[in-house]
Amino acid sequence: MSKIPALLTIVGLTLALTACSGSGTPQETDAAATSSPSADCTESGTLSDEVTVTGDFGAPLDISIDAPLTPTVSQRTVAIEGTGTDTAKTDSIVEVAITLYNAKTQEVIQPTTYNTDGASLVIPINDTSFLPGLVRSANCAVEGDRIVTVSPAADAFADKGATGVAAGEPVIFVMDVITVIEDVPTQASGTDQPIEDGFPTVALADDGAPTVTIPATEAPTDLKISTLKKGDGNVVADGASVAVAYTGVIWATGETFDSSWGRAPYTVFPTGGVIPGFTQALVGQTVGSQVIAVIPPEFGYGEAGTQGISGTDTLVFVIDILASEGGPKA
């Protein structure tokens, strides 16, 4: 089990729209709904076509619906057609500004924040990370699209509900697509940097997966971060969503306690949603970089520890930064 998601501290939109990993995707009976949310483009339908959205792309909007809507499967209508050349597909990343509505009451569940770069959410197009209806909405998108998706509860909050959505209620996703990263890199591509003394050594397999060797010394008591490869992409901003590949090792034993390698092409989360040492290893770095962080307990899981990690364990993470929303170029 991944230890990083267990440390998520975020609240609000990103957490609400993330699928519950404990319960899995809700069981659905309709053949169209049981297909993989990232496999095929979701078709439009009467309900999604009849949702009227007004307002400029990339700005707050108004919506008119003939509530209550009662979809049995997700329906997806492109209200504004974009001109982007990259099309979202399985394992792509889509940056969007999104507003979420209750399709029964027409109430706004979550207005978009429209940050300075326009995006309010980064959606990985896969089958496990976010609500199926949200993935169905972003799949097949191109930059500049405004997409309206009407989803049944089975593709949204199911029988658990959420703030503003009762158990079993359908929802409407309205998203403006800011960026599509069609093919996310699988490993850091930056320029090798000089190795700093005192850090563990890192050997890379052909696919980029790291093997970490801990030196025969006591763990440092301070947080230590070093850049192994320097990328030339966007600077990772505080609070931005990032796509990374990572491996975590316990200093005292050399044991790998968590790794995204072999599990998924990348993992997406906000920089503020993980342990403090991991956050500090990301913010200010550039996309394409590989970073090593030595994280003492006070910057990790604290005195309480977590699954398989004691309150005295110093951790080592090797992190490949593959993509990040917005942010200035290096």
Residue-wise pLDDT for 195-247, tens only, equals 999 999 999 999 999 999 999 999 999 999 999 999 999 899 998 889 999 99
Residue 60's CATH number: 3.10.50.40
As beta bridge partners, residue 64 has 52
pTM metric for this prediction: 0.77
Quick one: pLDDT at residue 115?
Answer: 60
**Does 329 map to a domain?**
no
Is the domain of 26 the same as that of 172?
A: yes
Whether pLDDT at 8 is above 70: no
Check if the beta carbon of residue 274 is closer than 8 Å to that of residue 300: no
Mind listing the pLDDT tens digit for each residue in 101-150? 999 999 998 887 666 555 668 888 987 668 999 999 999 999 999 999 99
Whether pLDDT at 287 is above 60: yes
Is the domain of 139 the same as that of 64?
A: yes
Closest-CA residue to 101 (of 165, 57, 15) = 165
Residue 276 host element (H or E): helix 276-282
**Does 168 map to a domain?**
yes
- For the chain, what is the radius of gyration of the CA atoms? 21
Is the domain of 205 the same as that of 276?
A: yes
Is the domain of 25 the same as that of 84?
A: yes
Is the domain of 104 the same as that of 200?
A: no
**Higher per-residue pLDDT: 264 or 301:** 301
Give me the mean pLDDT over the 271-277 stretch. 90
Is the domain of 214 the same as that of 132?
A: no
Is the domain of 169 the same as that of 87?
A: yes
**Does 78 map to a domain?**
yes
- In Å, what is the CA distance from 205 to each residue of 81, 113, 239, 291? 42, 41, 31, 16
C-alpha dihedral, 238 to 282 to 123 to 97, nearest 10°? 20
Separation CA 324–CA 75 (nearest Å): 29
Whether pLDDT at 77 is above 90: yes
Q: Where are the beta strands (DSSP E) in 183-240?
A: 191-192, 201-204, 210-213, 224-230
Mind listing the pLDDT tens digit for each residue in 300-318? 999 999 888 999 999 999 9
Question: Can you say whether residue 67 is alpha, beta or left, with left for phi > 0 and alpha for psi between -120 and 50 degrees?
Answer: beta
**Does 83 map to a domain?**
yes
Quick one: pLDDT at residue 16?
Answer: 55
Is the domain of 10 the same as that of 47?
A: yes
Q: Which of 121, 149, 181 is the last residue of a domain?
A: 181
Q: Which of 181, 199, 229 is the last residue of a domain?
A: 181
Is the domain of 230 the same as that of 317?
A: yes
**Does 186 map to a domain?**
no
Is the domain of 167 the same as that of 210?
A: no
Q: Determine what percent of the chain is predicted with pLDDT higher than 90.
A: 63
Q: Which of 161, 181, 201 is the last residue of a domain?
A: 181
**Does 255 map to a domain?**
yes
Is the domain of 154 the same as that of 255?
A: no
Residue 230 belongs to what domain range?
Answer: 191-324
Please give the DSSP secondary-structure letter assigned to residue 165.
B
Is the domain of 198 the same as that of 142?
A: no
Q: What is the total count of domains within the chain?
A: 2
**Does 144 map to a domain?**
yes
Burial class of 31 by CB neighbour count within 10 A (0 to 12, 13 to 18, 19+):
exposed
Separation CA 1–CA 323 (nearest Å): 23
